[in-house]
Amino acid sequence: MSMNELREGFFQECEDLLEALSDGMAVIDAGNADSDTLNAIFRAVHSIKGGAAAFGLEALVEFSHAFENVLDAARADRLTLQGEALALCFRAADRLADLVADARADQPSDSAASATLIAGLDRLLGAPSDAPPAAPAPPADEAVAPAFTPLSAPVSFDLPAKKGGAPAAAPDAAGGMSHYCIRFAPSRETYATGNEPALLFRALAAMGDLSVKADLSRVPPLLEMAWDEGYIIWNLTLHTRAGEDRLREVFDFVEGACNLDIRRLDAATLAGPQPGPAGAPGGTAADAAAAPAPATPSPAPDTVATDEPAARPGQGAPARATIRVDLERVDRLINLVGELVINQAMLSQSIDEANLPSGNGVDSAMGQLRQLSSELQERVMAIRAQPVKPLFQRMSRIVREAGHASAKLARLVTSGEATEVDKTVIERLADPLTHMIRNAIDHGLESPEARKQAGKPPEGIIRLSAGHRSGRVVIELSDDGAGINRARVHETAVARGLIAPEKDLSDEEIDNLLFMPGFSTSPEVSALSGRGVGMDVVKSEIQRLGGRVTLASMPGRGTTVTISLPLTLAVLEGMVVEVAGETLVVPTTALRETLKAAAADVQRIGAHGWFIAIRGGFVPIVDLGAELGFQPGPEGFVGRVLLLIESGSGRRAALAVDRVLDQREVVIKGLENNYGHVPGIAAATILGNGRIALIIDPDEISAAPAPGPGAAAPRPALATAAGA
- Collapse the DSSP code of 711 into the 3-class scheme (helix H, G, I; strand E, B; otherwise coil) and give the result: coil
With binding defined as CB under 8 A, does residue 719 bind other proteins? yes
Angle ∠(321,326,327) on CA atoms, nearest 5: 105
Q: Which of 126, 128, 467, 716 binds other proteins (CB under 8 A)?
A: 716
With binding defined as CB under 8 A, does residue 682 bind other proteins? no
Q: Which of 56, 297, 390, 690 binds other proteins (CB under 8 A)?
A: 690
Q: Of 298 and 685, which CB lies nearer to other proteins in the complex structure?
A: 685
Which range touches other proteins (CB under 8 A), out of 144-152, 451-459, 606-614, 628-636?
628-636
Taking the complex as a whole, the smallest distance from the CB of residue 339 to other proteins amounts, in Å, to: 5
Which range touches other proteins (CB under 8 A), out of 222-230, 301-309, 392-400, 625-633?
625-633
Separation CA 640–CA 596 (nearest Å): 6
Separation CA 235–CA 247 (nearest Å): 14
Which range touches other proteins (CB under 8 A), out of 131-139, 196-204, 523-531, 669-677?
669-677
Taking the complex as a whole, the smallest distance from the CB of residue 386 to other proteins amounts, in Å, to: 18
With binding defined as CB under 8 A, does residue 575 bind other proteins? no
Footprint of other proteins on 419-478 (CB under 8 A) = none
Q: Which of 69, 583, 588, 589 binds other proteins (CB under 8 A)?
A: 583
With binding defined as CB under 8 A, does residue 628 bind other proteins? yes
Q: Of 288 and 380, which CB lies nearer to other proteins in the complex structure?
A: 380
With binding defined as CB under 8 A, does residue 390 bind other proteins? no
Q: Which of 268, 691, 706, 709 binds other proteins (CB under 8 A)?
A: 691
Contacts of 723 (CB under 8 A, 6+ apart): none
Total residues in contact with other proteins, by rule CB under 8 A? 40
Cβ of 248: how many Cβ atoms within 10 Å?
21
Taking the complex as a whole, the smallest distance from the CB of residue 628 to other proteins amounts, in Å, to: 3
With binding defined as CB under 8 A, does residue 722 bind other proteins? yes
Q: Of 509 and 672, which CB lies nearer to other proteins in the complex structure?
A: 672
DSSP 206: T
CB 57 within 8 A of CB 84: no
- DSSP letter string, 392-430: HHHHHHHHHHHHHHTT--EEEEEE-TT-EEEHHHHHHHH
Footprint of other proteins on 352-381 (CB under 8 A) = none
Contacts of 29 (CB under 8 A, 6+ apart): 86, 90
Q: Which of 300, 365, 638, 718 binds other proteins (CB under 8 A)?
A: 718
Taking the complex as a whole, the smallest distance from the CB of residue 690 to other proteins amounts, in Å, to: 6
Helices (H) and strands (E) in the chain, counts: 22, 22
Cα–Cα distances (Å) from 539 to 164, 269, 299, 548, in that order, read 50, 68, 60, 7
Separation CA 533–CA 445 (nearest Å): 19
Separation CA 642–CA 657 (nearest Å): 6
Taking the complex as a whole, the smallest distance from the CB of residue 722 to other proteins amounts, in Å, to: 3
> Per-residue b/e over 552-576, b at no fewer than 16 CB within 10 Å?
bbeeeebbbbbbbbbbbbbbbebbb
Which range touches other proteins (CB under 8 A), out of 37-45, 394-402, 611-619, 627-635?
627-635
Cα–Cα distances (Å) from 229 to 217, 255, 328, 547, 550, in that order, read 14, 17, 39, 59, 66
With binding defined as CB under 8 A, does residue 724 bind other proteins? yes
With binding defined as CB under 8 A, does residue 684 bind other proteins? yes
Taking the complex as a whole, the smallest distance from the CB of residue 657 to other proteins amounts, in Å, to: 14
Q: Which of 215, 363, 582, 665 binds other proteins (CB under 8 A)?
A: 582
With binding defined as CB under 8 A, does residue 669 bind other proteins? yes
Contacts of 110 (CB under 8 A, 6+ apart): 98
With binding defined as CB under 8 A, does residue 693 bind other proteins? yes
Separation CA 471–CA 571 (nearest Å): 10
CB 12 within 8 A of CB 6: no
With binding defined as CB under 8 A, does residue 645 bind other proteins? no
Taking the complex as a whole, the smallest distance from the CB of residue 680 to other proteins amounts, in Å, to: 6
586 bridge partner residues: 575
CB 208 within 8 A of CB 134: no
Contacts of 167 (CB under 8 A, 6+ apart): 134, 137, 138
Taking the complex as a whole, the smallest distance from the CB of residue 675 to other proteins amounts, in Å, to: 5
Taking the complex as a whole, the smallest distance from the CB of residue 423 to other proteins amounts, in Å, to: 16
CB 460 within 8 A of CB 479: yes
CB 598 within 8 A of CB 636: no
Beta-sheet pairing, 617-623 with 652-657 = parallel
Q: Which of 360, 364, 368, 720 binds other proteins (CB under 8 A)?
A: 720
Q: Which of 681, 699, 702, 705 binds other proteins (CB under 8 A)?
A: 681
Which range touches other proteins (CB under 8 A), out of 7-15, 287-295, 557-565, 690-698?
690-698
Cα–Cα distances (Å) from 669 to 268, 421, 481, in that order, read 68, 13, 38
Contacts of 378 (CB under 8 A, 6+ apart): 665, 667
Q: Which of 276, 692, 706, 709 binds other proteins (CB under 8 A)?
A: 692
With binding defined as CB under 8 A, does residue 618 bind other proteins? no
Tell me which residue of 445, 463, 436 sits closest to 407, measured CA to CA.
445
Tell whether the torsion through CA atoms of 254, 180, 40 and 111 is positive or negative.
negative
With binding defined as CB under 8 A, does residue 675 bind other proteins? yes
With binding defined as CB under 8 A, does residue 630 bind other proteins? yes
With binding defined as CB under 8 A, does residue 679 bind other proteins? yes
CB 32 within 8 A of CB 13: no
With binding defined as CB under 8 A, does residue 230 bind other proteins? no
Taking the complex as a whole, the smallest distance from the CB of residue 574 to other proteins amounts, in Å, to: 15
Which range touches other proteins (CB under 8 A), out of 225-233, 278-286, 294-302, 689-697?
689-697
With binding defined as CB under 8 A, does residue 5 bind other proteins? no
- DSSP letter string, 240-268: ESS-HHHHHHHTTTTTTSEEEEEEEE-HH
Helical ranges in 513-611 per DSSP H: 535-544
With binding defined as CB under 8 A, does residue 128 bind other proteins? no
Which range touches other proteins (CB under 8 A), out of 34-42, 294-302, 473-481, 712-720?
712-720
Footprint of other proteins on 298-357 (CB under 8 A) = 334-339, 342
Q: Of 150 and 633, which CB lies nearer to other proteins in the complex structure?
A: 633
Taking the complex as a whole, the smallest distance from the CB of residue 583 to other proteins amounts, in Å, to: 8
With binding defined as CB under 8 A, does residue 272 bind other proteins? no
Q: Of 365 and 692, which CB lies nearer to other proteins in the complex structure?
A: 692
Q: Which of 4, 322, 355, 674 binds other proteins (CB under 8 A)?
A: 674
Q: Of 213 and 428, which CB lies nearer to other proteins in the complex structure?
A: 428
Which range touches other proteins (CB under 8 A), out of 289-297, 511-519, 533-541, 677-685?
677-685
Q: What's the full length of the chain, in residues?
A: 724
With binding defined as CB under 8 A, does residue 688 bind other proteins? no
Q: Of 155 and 719, which CB lies nearer to other proteins in the complex structure?
A: 719
- DSSP letter string, 631-653: SPPPS--TT-EEEEEE-TTS-EE
Residues that bind other proteins (CB under 8 A): 334-339, 342, 582-583, 627-630, 669-671, 673-676, 678-681, 684, 686, 690-694, 715-722, 724
